Amino acid sequence: MFDWKAPTTQMLGRWQPWHKGHTELFRKAHNLTGQVAIMIRDVGGIVGQDAGAGRTNEQVDNPFDFAFVSQQIITALANQGYTVNIDYVIMEVPNIVDISYGRGVGYTFTEHDLGKDIHDISATKIRAKMRDEGLL
């Protein structure tokens, strides 16, 4: 059972769509604390306008809604032996474009180097391929 009081690693993203690189990042995050809160930004359907409002790299292609992304995550992680509500929870969150903090807030920010092959995976390219194949 997911322990809401235990140290937890957070992953915040659009996950448009969830892919192998996200799974590798999850694995690293899970190794840090043994459980992860995956937060899905509510940007599904924002297509043609910048969901990041200029605060991030342009994010103009967000075709997938929360239910679709959640199911993709659950399926992908189940295939790797992880169980929702035990190893991780999924949360829908607003379109968060900034995380502000003061000093001594009790958490850290960790960037994981997943290697060139994983970093080269592109959700933008995945969406384009899905469109070419008539899947989107």
Instruction: Report pLDDT digits (tens) over 7-25.
Output: 999 999 999 999 999 999 9
Higher pLDDT, 126 or 69: 69
Query: What's the structural domain count of the chain?
Result: 1
Please report the pLDDT score of residue 108 as a whole number: 84
Please report the pLDDT score of residue 109 as a whole number: 85
pLDDT tens, residue by residue, 121-132? 888 888 989 899
Question: Taking residues 42-62, what's their average pLDDT?
Answer: 89
Residue 14, in any domain of the structure:
yes
Residue 126, in any domain of the structure:
yes
Residue 41, in any domain of the structure:
yes
- Decide if pLDDT at 118 tops 90: no
- Decide if pLDDT at 47 tops 80: yes
Alpha carbon distance 94, 92 (integer Å): 7
Please report the pLDDT score of residue 92 as a whole number: 98
- Cα–Cα distances in angstroms (integers) from residue 96 to residues 20, 49, 57, 115, in the given order: 23, 16, 14, 27
Among candidates 113, 106, 103, 126, which has minimal Cα distance to 17? Answer: 126
- Residue-number span of the structural domain to which 80 is assigned: 9-96+107-132
Residue 2, in any domain of the structure:
no
Residue 1, in any domain of the structure:
no
CATH code, 126? 3.40.50.620
